[in-house]
Structure 1
Amino acid sequence: MLKRRLGRTDLSVTAISFGGLPLQRCTMEEASSVLDAVLQKGINFIDTARAYTDSEEKIGRYLANRRSEFYLATKSMARDKVSMAKDIDLSLATLKMDYIDLYQIHNIKTREDLDAVLAPDGALEALIEAKAQHKIGHIGVTGHSVPLLIEAIQTGHFSTVQVPFNFIEQDPLKELFPLAKKLDLGIIVMKPLGGGQITHTDLALKWILSHDITAAIPGMDSVEQVQENFAALTDYQPLTPVEVALLSKEAKEIGPNFCRRCGYCMPCTVNIDIPQTFIFHLQYTRYGLKEAIPERYANLPAKASECIECGICETRCPYDLPIRERLKQVAADLEK
């Protein structure tokens, strides 16, 4: 089992670990099977968040009595001290646990976010107090903006940094990862499969493992996905030139501006399932499912053409995607 040291936390975690965002798409029974498979395989690091609807609840229901088998990370979007303190206690209660190994400030997206967190009576103060009270073990930060994360970790307050990194998104390699290693921070990779867009799962994960990161946390919502992701961990070999070429071809086809299915854009004002709508469009345009997809799309309760262009979704998207324009294209292609 390939394990790596999570920076100065000194926790030894499996290099492929569990991302809990898709767990919110599972029923309670499905979540039980997925989480059991994770621990059965020996994966020992589980990451979730307050924002992932009932992900914490599912983990608490099925894993609270197996607490010694894994390290636990969660995170909050709170920016002020009072709200963060409340979220820490909510996490503990929902997870049915009295200790969280890593609590992270979630999704630093703007300068205002970072300033608020670090200000007097900001979220960081609540985390420092929770650590002193032994409610949490370590403090981390997550985000999609590499420049803001670089600034955040230079403050010295954080023991881990979590950022998107995959064969398509390689920006962290230039400055963030070297700085994190210099500061002895654990490096947690989110979106290692591009939110499910990268289909060469085994190759994509092995490519990530060839870099000096601590753990990749692909999201998993089925036992089959657990098994598939675990294979990269147990049968790790450097990629061949042919395999690298396969990844390069897929990266070129996907392009840099794609939906990662994180769901941060939701809920939609008029109840459009934006990630699912984009998945259908991708399957229609990229995979040539010209007959099946329009039929499935037609069953959605709200269509892309119903967008009122309020723009709220775009303010939430961590990748600043032009969601309104893309919904217009979906409508043009799938509502003929």
Structure 2
Amino acid sequence: MEFVTLGKTNLLVSRTAFGAMSLDCDEIQSSPDPEEMVCALVHQSYTEGINFFDVARSKPLCEQRLARALHGIRGNVFLATKTSSLDADGIQRDIDLSLDALESDRIDLYQIESDSGVPGVDSSDDGYKKLLSLKEQGIVSHIGLATTSHQTALTAVKSGLYETVQFPFNILTEDSVAGIVRECERNDVGCIAMQPLNGGVLSNIPLAFGFLHQYENVVPVWGVHTQNELDQLLYFNAHPPVVDEQFLSEVEKIRNFFN
């Protein structure tokens, strides 16, 4: 397993992160024993070296299932979750609920979700101050921003207010998005890629993995739906696809197909 320092957090995380927001997906729900399947997926990931797990308050069942699966190994992994609340009261409510669901007394990385602006920069609410307060209290170790807006992501990176920024980055995103990745590196901001398969649109894991693996500071969060998906991710983590002319040609074919 390869590891990377996640920006200013100094957290040494696996370059392959486990996206736990899919732990309530149809594939898992339709299995004979969803709880057992989740535990098996999480335990295999951990055994193979994955130490970074990302979830969100908007997925309470996923938080609960992740907590059960991490029982006994919580102290050996880094746990990230998110709040979509932008005000202090809402953030306090969400962190309390997340701590309870995750059966933990702290969150390693707490991310605020916003697509319409950067709390602390573009808004007058007290949300960002609340995040700082939670960090000062030791309830959260680090704070980040998660967004589907690339402009919001860029603003957050340049603001210096956030230790990590999570945004969509994959084969199908515009070439300009790579500029945000470089900006993260310049500003020592942890770069987390959401939607590495473009929300399920892409099915070619080797191409998707190889594309993102070119960027050494990027930590993709892979939503795991099936055993086969996890097996592929772990295989290509150990044997990264070679990015050569043929690889780039295949990437271009996929881009042309969807565009």
The 8 Å contact of residues 16 and 43 in structure 1, kept in 2 or not, is answered as: yes
Which protein shows a greater Rg? 1
The corresponding residue for 2:116 is: 110
The corresponding residue for 2:105 is: 98
The 8 Å contact of residues 141 and 162 in structure 1, kept in 2 or not, is answered as: yes
Moved more, 230-239 or 84-93: 230-239
Which of 138, 151, 160 aligns to 1:156? It is 160
Q: Which runs of at least 4 in structure 1 moved beyond 6 Å after TM superposition?
A: none
The corresponding residue for 1:254 is: 258
**Structure 2 runs not aligned, ≥5 long:** 29-33
How far off is 1:120 after superposition?
A: 5.2
Equivalent pairs counted in the alignment come to 251
The 8 Å contact of residues 86 and 119 in structure 2, kept in 1 or not, is answered as: no
Q: Is 1:244 matched with 2:251?
A: no
The corresponding residue for 1:10 is: 10
CA distance in 2, matches of 1:177, 1:6: 13
CA RMSD, 1 decimal:
1.8
Higher relative contact order (CA 8 A, sep 6+): 2
How far off is 1:116 after superposition?
A: 7.9
Higher relative strand content = 2
Q: Is 1:50 matched with 2:57?
A: yes
TM-score (norm 1): 0.71
How far off is 1:243 after superposition?
A: 2.0
> 3-state SS of the aligned residue for 2:159?
coil
Which of 194, 198, 215 aligns to 1:194? It is 198
Q: Is 1:19 matched with 2:25?
A: no
How far off is 1:223 after superposition?
A: 2.2
CA distance in 2, matches of 1:68, 1:75: 19
TM-score (norm 2): 0.91
> 3-state SS of the aligned residue for 1:35?
helix
Which of 24, 29, 34 aligns to 2:36? It is 29
**Structure 1 runs not aligned, ≥5 long:** 256-336
How far off is 1:239 after superposition?
A: 1.4
Q: Is 1:231 matched with 2:235?
A: yes
Distance 1:66 1:254, change over 3 A: same
How far off is 1:161 after superposition?
A: 0.6
Distance 1:62 1:173, change over 3 A: same
> 3-state SS of the aligned residue for 2:57?
coil
How far off is 1:247 after superposition?
A: 2.1
The 8 Å contact of residues 181 and 218 in structure 2, kept in 1 or not, is answered as: no
The corresponding residue for 1:208 is: 212
Cα-to-partner distance string for 1:14-48 (whole Å, 9 max, x where unaligned): 11111112112232222122111211211110000
Q: Is 1:172 matched with 2:183?
A: no
The corresponding residue for 1:41 is: 48
Q: Is 1:219 matched with 2:223?
A: yes
The 8 Å contact of residues 3 and 13 in structure 1, kept in 2 or not, is answered as: yes
Cα-to-partner distance string for 1:59-78 (whole Å, 9 max, x where unaligned): 11221321122111110100
CA distance in 2, matches of 1:207, 1:138: 28
Tell me the percent identity.
Answer: 27
Partner letter of residue 65 of structure 1? G
Partner letter of residue 4 of structure 1? V
How far off is 1:237 after superposition?
A: 4.4
> 3-state SS of the aligned residue for 1:13?
strand
Cα-to-partner distance string for 1:63-108 (whole Å, 9 max, x where unaligned): 13211221111101001011001111111111001111100011x2
CA distance in 2, matches of 1:196, 1:247: 16
